[in-house]
Structure 1
Amino acid sequence: QHYCVGAEVLQAYVMGESDGQPKDADWAAPITGIDAASIRQLARHMADRRTLISVSWSIQRADHGEQPYWAAIALAAMLGQIGLPGGGFGFGYGCTSGLGQPRSSSPGMSLNTGVNGVKTRIPVARFMDMLLNPGTPYDFNGERWTYPDVRLVYWCGGNPFHKIQDLNRLLHAWQKPETIIIHEHWWTPAARRADIVLPCNTTVEREDIGASKHDGYLFAMHRAIEPVGESRTEYAIYSALAERLGFAGQFTEGRSEREWLRHLYASACEQAEANGTEMPNFDAFWEVGHIAFSPPDNPPVLYEPFRHNPQMHALPTPSGRIEIFSKTIDGFGYDDCPGHPTWLEPVEWLGSDKARTYPLHLLSNQPKDRLHSQLDCGDVSQAAKVADREGIWLNPEDAADRGIQDGDVVRVHNDRGACLAGAIVTDAIRPGVVNLSTGAWFDPVDPATIGSLDKHGNPNMLTLDKGTSKLAQSPTAQTALVEVERFEEEAPDVTAFELPAIEAAG
C-alpha cells in the first residue's frame, strides 16, 4: 500500500473473481506454449531469489503491446524487489548499448525547435489512416482527435516503405496527397515514389557532433569526402527554404553550420562546468576527435530512492505510486486497454481461427547485417541474402511439411500480400513460427500495380496495420499470420538497387 495502488483489482482479475476465469498456470499453458509445471516452477524460482524481469522493446510492437510491460511491472511489484540491486524490472536492455549502463556525466545538446502552430497529435503508426480517412475521429491516449486533410507530405529521416505496415495499403494511401517531398541520398522505395526528391548529404559528407544521452562520449564527426553531385546538407536545404519563405534570419540566427557546432559545444561546456566537469575548447575537441566522460562512482539503483521513501521520492504518476490499476486509464473506457494488466486475445495468433488458413506466426526482427533498411545495397547486407533475397527462418519440421529445403526461394503470403524470400532451415526457431527480418527494399514485380508480388522479401507486405490500442496506437508488426510455400517458377531478378529511369530537364 505504501508503494502501489490497485493491487486488489488485479488480484480479483488473476484469481478469476471478476470474470470467472482464474489465470493460473493451467490457463496460461496453451496460450504461451509452456507447460503448466514449468510455469509453476518458474514462479517459485522467481519468488525465492533476487529476480530482474527484463522485457525487450520488440514485445510492444504487437496487438495490445502495452500489456506485457504493465504486467511485468505488476509482477515485479508483487515480488517486492523494485529498488533493490539486481531486482525489479528493466525494459530494452541490450537493444542499444546505453540502456542499462550507468548514466555518465556527459552533457546534452539541443536546438530550439520553435513553436508549432499545429496542435493535432497523430501517432506515427496511424500515418495511413490519416491519409485515407481525413475528417475521421480517432482516439489516442485519452483524447479524441480528428484526422486532418493532408495535401503535402514532407518526409525526412526515414523510409516509410520500411517502417510502415501493410505496404499494399500504404500504396493506396500514398496516392492521396497532392505532393510528396523527400530528403534522400539513395533511391529508396520511398524516393522512387516521391514527387520531389531533395538530395541530401550522408554523414560522411558533412560536419556534425555525435552524442547520445545514453553514451559517455562526444564525437567530432569530420567530413570525410566532399558532397557528391548536387547534394546539400539538410541545414543548407532548410536554410534555402527559409530564405524563400522569408524567415532565413530567424531560422539560421546568422550562424553557419560550423558556427552552430561551436554554439552547441559551448552550451555543452556550460552544462559540464555546472556539473564539475571541465571540457577542452572546441578547437582542441575537434582536433582530438572525441571526449570520454567518466561513469558515476556509485551507479544508481533504479527506483532505490522511491523504495526508501515513497513520499519524498514519489513517482510521476497521478497517485505518486506504482499504478497496478490506473483510474486514469480505466476512465478512458477503452475496450482494448482496461485499467489494469489484462490478457487480451490478439487479432491474429496461432490460437485463432485464421491459423487454419495461415498456420505460421511471422516475426520481423531488426536485422543484424544493417541498421533497419539503411545500406541494404551494401556489401554486408548483400552477403547475408539467400538466393538474392532476404532470408526467412523456418523450423525443420515446418520446412519438411512443405517440401522446402535450405536455400530455396519461397513465397510468403497472407490476405494482405505476398513476397519472395530465401529459405533458412534452422532449429533456432520453434515450430509454427517464421522470422523474416525487416529492411529489404520493397521491389514489386510490377511497380505500377498495387498488390504485385514483392521479389525481395519485405515483411511489411504481410504485416498488419492496426494500432496496439486506443491508448498508445503503436504499430503491431509482430502480430501476423502467414503461409510459406516453395516457389516453383523461375525467380525474378531483384531490381531494387537499379537506378530509376531519369529524364533530363528541358
Structure 2
Amino acid sequence: MSGDSSAGGTTRTPTTFHWGRYDVLSSGDRVVALEPHPGDPDPSPVGAGVPEVNHAPYRITRPMVREGWLRGDRDPVRGRDRFVAVSWDRALDLAAGELARVRNEHGPTAIYGGSYGWGSAGRFHHPQSQIHRFLAMAGGYTASVNTYSFAAMEVVLPHVIGGGPTSLHERGPSWREITEHGGLVVSFGGMAVKNAQMVSGGPSRHTQTSWQRAAAGAGVGFVNVSPVRDDAADELGAQWLPLRPGTDAALMLALTHVLLAEELADTDFANRCCTGFDRFREHVLGRSDGTAKDPEWAEGITGVAAGEIRELARAIAAHRTVINLAWSIQRHDHGEQPCWAGIALAALSGSCGRPGGGPAAGLGIAEHGTRGQWRIASLPQPPGGVVARIPVARIADMLLSPGETIDYNGERITFPDTRLVYWAGGNPFHHHQDLGRLDRAWQRPDTVIVHESWWNATATRADLVFPVATSLERDDVALGSADSTITAMHRAVPPPADVRTDHAVFAGLAERLGFGERFTEGRSEWQWVRELYDRTRDRLRDERIDLPGFDEFWDAGSATLPEKDMSPDGGSFAALRADPSAAPLATPSGRIELVSDTVAAFGYPDCPGMPVWLEPYERLGTEAAERHGLHLVSNQPKTRLHSQYDGGRTSRESKVGGREPVDLHPEDARARGIADGETVRIHNDRGACLAGARLTDAVRPGVAVLATGAWYDPDADGLCRHGNPNVLTRDAGTSRLAQGPTSGTTLVEIEPAGADVPAVRAFDPPEIVEGRPGDATTDA
C-alpha cells in the first residue's frame, strides 16, 4: 500500500517520525538512509541513526518466552534469564491463557496496562491506543494518569487557571505575538531548541530556531534562568541566571516581592482577575509568617545575587514580559510550587492578558509559532475499560505495596494487587526513577508481557515478548501536535518474516479471547488507516476545511491545513482582563487562583493552598551536599528521543568512550582529579553509574548534566555501565497533590572510575535457545 518511487535500484519512500518528515531510501528489504524532507529548514539529525538500528543485531525477530517463566521457576529472575524462541501460535496461546487466568482469579484491577505516548507518530499504529482498546474490550484493566513530562503541572494548573500545560499553551502568547508585541522572555528552565526537535505526531518543518531569531531580531530580550547556559541559544544573547537547581519557586517569590514592595505590581489585574491576592501578598511580604520573601532571602537559597533579582523584577515590570515555565522545573520535590508561583508572578507582572506577554508553559520545547492545534481522529476507545487508575510515576509503589493507600489530588487511591503487567509502547526502564528499585518491583507480578522491536531492558525483563514492526514497516497517517500538515506514513520495507504489528498481536489475542470481530470491526490495518483519515476529513469539514480524498492524499504524501490561531491576542487571559465576569476561567472562582481554597482543604502539608517555598529533600547549599556535592541535571538528550535510537549513529557519536557523557564544570572536575574524556563513577545512596566526563563552563559550578536515555545496563551489583541517570534519582512523588516524578532533585558525587572498568553491554541480546516447532523444549 506504499507510495514508493524507485531510481537506480534504490526506492525512495516518504514518511514521518516524531522528529520530522523524511524520505526513506531502501534497497530490497533494507533501509539504506533517511534524507530530511526538502521543505524542512532545520531538520533533526536523529534520523541519520535510524537505518542501522532497524536492522541491528539486537532486533527482536521472533516471539520469545523467558525460560524460567515457562518452567514456573522464579530463579533466575527477570533480566538474568535465557529466552526460548517459540511459534506465534504458542506465544499467543500462552498470553491469552494468562490474561484469562489472571482476570478470572484476581479481577481486572490485577492487570496493569502500561504504555507511553511516544511509541509512534502514527495515529493507528499508536501502541497506547492499541493496548488500551484491547484491554478495555478484554474486561478492563488498571491504567495510569498524567505523564512523566509534566505531571505536577497537569494537576496543579487546573486548580490555578482552569487548565493544564497544553491549555496554557493555547491561551498563552504565541511566538508571532511575542515578536510583534513582546519585550522580554524570562524562561525558568530555559528553552533549549534541542527539545523542539520532536513533537507528538512529528513536525513537517522545524521552525523553532527561526521563531526565536525573529523575536530577538525584533528587539525582544531573553533571560535564561537555568543551571545550564545552553538552555538558551547563543544567538539570542540571553542573560544567564545560573540558579541552584530546584530553587525556581524561591526566585519567583523574590521577584514578586520586589514588584509588591516597589509598587510595580499590577494590583488592578490582581484584584479584578485573581482570587486570594490579599493573602498571597501577606505571605510574600512576610506579614503572615515573619519571613519576607525578599531578594536577600532568595539569594541564600538560589545562589542568585539579590541585586540581580531586583534588576530582573524591574525589567519584568518595565517590559511586555512572558514568564515561561519549562517542564523541567516541576520535575522536582514540591514541583507544583514553581508552576503556581510562576503564574502568580505573571499575573502581577502587568503583562498577563496583553498581546505578547503573560504566562507560558513549555515555550520553545515544541514547534509552536501560533497557539492553535488541529486534532486528528484516533482509534476509538470503548467506555468503562479502565477500572482503576494510579499516578503514572507510582508504578513501583503499586507493584511493591499492593493494598497501600495514597493521597492524590483530593482522592484516596488504593494500589491493586497487580499480577500481570502488559506493556506496549515506551520503556519504563528509561523514564522511571530509581531503576534499581523498579527492577526489584518488576519481579513481583506473576507475568510481564511486552511488545518490543529491540532487546532493551524492558524486553529482557519480560516473560513473553512479542516482536513488533517499526514505523518504517507499516502504513499510517500522522498529524503533528504543533503542525498544520497531515502526513502519510508509507511503509518503506517489510518487517522481518516473524514480526507483526502491535495491532496484529492484539487482534490474534482478541480472537482467542472471543472478541476478535469487535476489536478489528472487520477492518484490515490498511482499512483502519483510511478510516481514521476519513473521520478526520469529516471532522475538519465541520470547520469548513476541505481535505482531498484519501487516495489523492496518499499519493501526494501530505495535506496542508490552514493555520489555526486563537484570538484575541493575549488568549483567554485577554478576555479575563477585559471582563472577568463575562469570561470566567474554569476555576471555582472563575479567576486565576493565587490562593486555592480547594487545594487548601485537602490539608496536604507538602502542597498548601498557595505558592510557597518548601525545602526539598536534598539540594545544594544544605547539609546533604556535604556528602554528595553535585546536583545532577538529567535533561532531554539532543541525539535521540528519550531512549529511542540510542544505538543509532547520532547517539553513539555523542558518547565518550562508549558511555553517556556527563558535563562538569572545570572547577568541579579539577577538585576531583577528573580529566576531560575520562570514565567516571557517579554515585549516591540510591545507585551508581559510569559515564564519560566532558568539561565545560556552560554548566553552573556544583552541577553535573547527564542526559536521560542511555539504555539501562546494570551489572550484578546494580552499577549501570552505560550511564543511565535514573539509577541515581529518587522514586518519590512531587507531593500528595500530583504524585509526579522528582528526578530533578538529585545530589550525587563523582570520582574517577580508574582503569579497570567493565565494558558496556547495553546492546547485547540475551541468550536464546530454540523451542520445538510450535512448542518449547524446556516446558515439555
**Aligned residue for 2:762?**
496
Asked if 1 retains the 8 angstrom alpha-carbon contact of 2:421 and 2:449, the reply is yes
Q: Which amino acid aligns with 1:397?
A: E
Give the total of aligned pairs.
500
For 1:456 and 1:118, how far apart are their aligned partners in 2? 37
Asked if 2 retains the 8 angstrom alpha-carbon contact of 1:204 and 1:225, the reply is yes
* Other structure's SS at 2:768 match: coil
For 1:333 and 1:346, how far apart are their aligned partners in 2? 19
**Aligned residue for 1:217?**
485
1:205 to 456, 469, 473: 473
**Aligned residue for 1:453?**
719
For 1:306 and 1:432, how far apart are their aligned partners in 2? 43
Q: Does 1:137 align with 2:405?
A: yes
Asked if 1 retains the 8 angstrom alpha-carbon contact of 2:713 and 2:761, the reply is yes
**Aligned residue for 1:474?**
740
**Aligned residue for 2:12?**
none
Deviation at 1:59, TM superposition (A): 0.9
Q: Any residues of structure 2 matched to 1:175-194 within 5 Å, and which?
A: 175-194=443-462
* Other structure's SS at 1:340 match: coil
Q: Any residues of structure 2 matched to 1:87-486 within 5 Å, and which?
A: 87-98=357-368, 101-103=370-372, 106-296=374-564, 300-303=569-572, 304-446=574-716, 451-486=717-752
Deviation digits for residues 353-393 of structure 1 (CA, Å, limit 9, x no counterpart): 11110010000001000000001111111000001100000
Q: Which amino acid aligns with 2:463?
A: D
Q: Does 1:76 align with 2:346?
A: yes
For 1:123 and 1:306, how far apart are their aligned partners in 2? 32
Give the TM-score, by structure 2 length.
0.63
Deviation at 1:18, TM superposition (A): 1.7
Question: Structure 1 residues 95, 250: closer, same or farther in 2, change over 3 A?
Answer: same
Q: Which amino acid aligns with 2:487?
A: F
Q: Which amino acid aligns with 1:101?
A: T
For 2:472 and 2:543, how far apart are their aligned partners in 1? 32
Q: Which amino acid aligns with 2:372?
A: R
For 1:107 and 1:177, how far apart are their aligned partners in 2? 37
For 2:603 and 2:709, how far apart are their aligned partners in 1? 37
Give the TM-score, by structure 1 length.
0.97
Q: Which amino acid aligns with 2:676?
A: D
Q: Which amino acid aligns with 2:302?
A: T
Once superposed, what is the RMSD of the aligned Cα atoms?
Answer: 1.3
Q: Which amino acid aligns with 1:318?
A: P
Question: Structure 1 residues 430, 471: closer, same or farther in 2, change over 3 A?
Answer: same
Gaps of 5+ in 2: 1-270, 772-776
For 2:660 and 2:311, how far apart are their aligned partners in 1? 39
Deviation at 1:296, TM superposition (A): 4.1
Between stretches 211-220 and 136-145, larger displacement belongs to: 211-220
For 1:498 and 1:72, how far apart are their aligned partners in 2? 45
Q: Which amino acid aligns with 2:400?
A: L
Identity %: 52
Asked if 2 retains the 8 angstrom alpha-carbon contact of 1:103 and 1:216, the reply is no
For 1:373 and 1:110, how far apart are their aligned partners in 2? 25
For 2:361 and 2:524, how far apart are their aligned partners in 1? 40
Deviation at 1:495, TM superposition (A): 1.1
* Other structure's SS at 1:259 match: helix
* Other structure's SS at 2:530 match: helix
Asked if 2 retains the 8 angstrom alpha-carbon contact of 1:102 and 1:295, the reply is no
Deviation digits for residues 440-477 of structure 1 (CA, Å, limit 9, x no counterpart): 1111222xxxx421111010110111100111111000
Deviation at 1:107, TM superposition (A): 4.3
**Aligned residue for 2:315?**
45
User: Quick check: which one's helix share is greater?
Assistant: 2
